[in-house]
């Protein structure tokens, strides 16, 4: 039986360890944390350790971890093959200024598994992977502009950040092109074409005008920030056609969605990727990123031929990340994907059944091991349908906290990432506590 625990109420006495730590953190960290994604009410919950599908906080309380560090930990916590590989490497050395065989081992595994990846370069984060993929596309094509979807998150790189949180506007042909932070240079906005997600006719018109000027179309086939809504098959086919017609590269951003299929997201969706960006699960829980793709495109990084794009990094291809990633992916075989797919289907079906039972405005999207909760009566299929009002966003944050009180950890946006240690009992605990939170809090009425 899955055990859940009650979270100490903020403001009650005595002060919890998490409260004490947050008081210290506020003196030395802006806002008291290092990541903007760690939203909370009065203070965050500080975690100390993980075991399988569970995590434990500073006060000894445990939670079922459906966040898994924002999809990174596909094998959960303390996965023996990963920890053993990492510990063995640490006893040898943590890093070098020279290459190691471990980066070849991981590269060979990914190249063998992903049809569109013929060569690969490692970096430290998904942000770096997208940054260098865009640079590679510009160097290869000789063009500057890129296209991306409204609402899509591709890391913290100026051109990739445009219109991440823009208000949808279906009355105009083109979605608004909006800066993502104060001080973003106006010139960045001039070099990004924003596409309406899953809206084929508007996208056709936009690319008819801009297609020949694009270095790349940056595609996440099921982007997390706009709601884990899969791209429609006909939309993907059109992107393939227009990219080939205009000699534009397609960058498949799979930093998050590589976990959707044994061969990767592009293969699952039929997207003909020229470049692919990876991260998260390919590092086994350690920092990692990668750019892979066609051999002729990847030659822009080849220093022996006079590289068009210089790519380095003190910790790129760090051997601890490489061996951990190799162990993680090695254990992620076809049966593992099949079981995660079935478990994800069970989760989505259970949530939808709960919504019908309670007669509330709750729906679920996603594929494979990824699930997203929405404060909507029907699962959204476009960015405009997904877009949430401030009140709806607050509802999701309140739900996140209500579930935390009940021993369930999900993302504060409603993102749920499953891991291989989980089974249907964990999903049943999620839906039971979700029902308790909805009934007690009056959510989605």
Give per-residue pLDDT as tens, 174-217: 999 999 999 999 999 999 999 999 999 999 999 999 999 999 99
CB neighbour class for 152 (10 Å; exposed up to 12, middle 13-18, buried from 19): buried
- Whether pTM exceeds 0.75: yes
Q: What is the pLDDT of residues 327-343, one digit of tens each?
A: 999 999 999 999 999 99
Strand partners, 147: 193, 217
User: Is the pLDDT confidence value at 310 over 60?
Assistant: yes
pLDDT of the residue at 195 = 97
CB neighbour class for 24 (10 Å; exposed up to 12, middle 13-18, buried from 19): exposed
Give the start-to-end residue ranges of the domains of the chain.
Answer: 17-74+334-441, 80-331
Q: In this predicted model, what pLDDT tens digit does every residue of 386-411 receive, in sequence order?
A: 999 999 999 999 999 999 999 999 99
C-alpha triplet 342, 347, 352: angle, nearest 5°:
125
Indicate left, alpha or beta for 63 from its phi (over 0: left) and psi (-120 to 50: alpha): beta
| Nearest by Cα to 442 from 359, 377, 352 | 359
Q: Strands across the sheet with 249-253, in order?
A: 119-123, 289-293, 275-279, 249-253, 214-219, 145-149, 192-195
State the pLDDT at residue 39. 64
Percent of the chain with pLDDT over 90: 90
Surface-to-core class of residue 189, CB atoms within 10 Å of its CB (0-12 exposed, 13-18 middle, 19+ buried): middle
- Give the pLDDT band of residue 10 (cuts 50, 70, 90): very low
CA nearest to 400, candidates 138, 1, 7, 58: 7
Task: Tell me the per-residue pLDDT of 29-81, one tens digit each, with 9 for 90 and over.
Answer: 999 999 877 767 788 999 999 999 999 999 999 999 999 999 999 999 999 99
> Which tops the pLDDT comparison, 391 or 14?
391
Residue 118 burial (CB < 10 Å; 0-12/13-18/19+)? middle
* Averaged pLDDT, 272-276: 98
- The pLDDT assigned to 203 comes to 97
Going by pLDDT thresholds of 50, 70 and 90, the confidence category of residue 4 is very low
Contacts of 383 (CB under 8 A, 6+ apart): 149, 150, 151, 168, 175, 196, 197, 198, 226, 227, 229
Token couple for 332: 């992620």
pLDDT band at 236 (very low <50, low <70, confident <90, very high): very high
Q: Residue 179 is encoded by which pair of tokens?
A: 């800066």
How confident is the model at residue 107, as a pLDDT?
98
Q: What is the pLDDT of residue 13?
A: 61
Q: Both tokens of residue 225?
A: 């920030």
pLDDT in tens, 328-381: 999 999 999 999 999 999 999 999 999 999 999 999 999 999 999 999 999 999
CA–CA separation, 246 and 210 (whole Å): 10
Q: How many CB atoms lie within 10 A of CB 176?
A: 14
Q: How far apart are CA 65 and CA 77, in angstroms?
A: 9
Q: Span 80-331: which CATH code?
A: 3.40.640.10
Cα first-last separation, the chain:
30
When pLDDT is averaged across residues 141-151 and rounded to a whole number, the result is 97
Place of tokens 């997600």: 197
What gap in Å lies between CA 139 and CA 38, rounded to an integer? 36
Greatest alpha-carbon pair distance for the chain in Å reads 66
Residue 6: pLDDT above 70? no
Return the pLDDT at 71: 97
Q: What percent of the chain lies above the pLDDT cut of 70?
A: 97
Mean pLDDT score of the chain: 94
pLDDT classification of 3: cutoffs 50, 70, 90: very low
Which tops the pLDDT comparison, 36 or 427?
A: 427
* pLDDT computed for residue 14 by the predictor: 79
pLDDT at 60: 95
Q: The domain at 17-74+334-441 falls in which architecture? A: Alpha-Beta Complex (3.90)
């Amino acid at each position: 039986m899955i055990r859940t625990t009650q979270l100490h109420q903020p403001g009650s006495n005595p002060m919890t360890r998490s409260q004490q730590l947050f008081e210290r953190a506020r003196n030395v960290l802006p806002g008291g944390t290092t990541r903007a994604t760690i939203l909370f009410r009065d203070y965050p919950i500080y975690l100390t350790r993980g075991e399988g599908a569970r995590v434990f906080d500073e006060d000894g309380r445990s939670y079922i971890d459906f966040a898994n560090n924002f999809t990174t930990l596909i094998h959960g916590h303390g996965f023996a093959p990963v920890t053993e590989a990492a510990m063995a490497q640490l006893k040898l050395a943590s890093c070098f200024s020279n290459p190691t065989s471990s980066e070849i081992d991981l590269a060979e595994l990914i190249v063998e598994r992903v049809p569109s990846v013929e060569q690969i370069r490692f970096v430290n984060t998904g942000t770096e992977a997208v940054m260098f993929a865009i640079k590679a596309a510009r160097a290869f094509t000789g063009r500057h502009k890129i296209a991306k979807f409204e609402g899509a998150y591709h890391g913290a790189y100026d051109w990739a950040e445009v219109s991440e949180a823009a208000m949808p506007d279906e009355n105009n042909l083109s979605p608004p092109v909006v800066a993502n932070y104060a001080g973003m240079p106006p010139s960045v906005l001039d070099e990004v074409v924003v596409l309406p997600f899953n809206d084929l006719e508007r996208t056709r018109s936009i690319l008819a005008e801009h297609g020949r000027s694009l270095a790349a179309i940056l595609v996440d086939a099921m982007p997390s920030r706009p709601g884990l809504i899969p791209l429609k098959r006909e939309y993907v086919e059109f992107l393939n056609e227009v990219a080939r017609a205009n000699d534009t590269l397609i960058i498949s951003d799979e930093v998050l969605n590589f976990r959707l299929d044994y061969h990767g997201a592009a293969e699952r969706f039929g997207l003909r990727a020229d470049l692919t960006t990876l991260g998260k699960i390919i590092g086994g829980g350690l920092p990692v990123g990668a750019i892979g793709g066609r051999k002729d495109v990847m030659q822009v990084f080849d220093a022996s031929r006079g590289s068009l794009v210089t790519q380095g990094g003190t910790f790129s291809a760090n051997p601890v990340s490489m061996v951990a990633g190799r162990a993680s992916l090695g254990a992620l075989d076809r049966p593992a994907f099949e079981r995660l797919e079935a478990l994800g289907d069970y989760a989505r079906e259970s949530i939808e059944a709960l919504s019908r039972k309670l007669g509330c405005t709750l729906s679920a999207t996603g594929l494979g091991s990824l699930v997203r909760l929405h404060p909507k009566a029907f699962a959204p299929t476009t960015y405009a349908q997904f877009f949430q009002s401030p009140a709806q966003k607050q509802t999701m944050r309140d739900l996140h906290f209500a579930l935390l009180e009940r021993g369930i950890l999900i993302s504060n946006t409603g993102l749920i990432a499953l891991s291989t240690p989980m089974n249907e009992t964990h999903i049943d605990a999620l839906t039971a506590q979700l029902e308790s939170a909805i009934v007690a809090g009056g959510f989605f009425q």
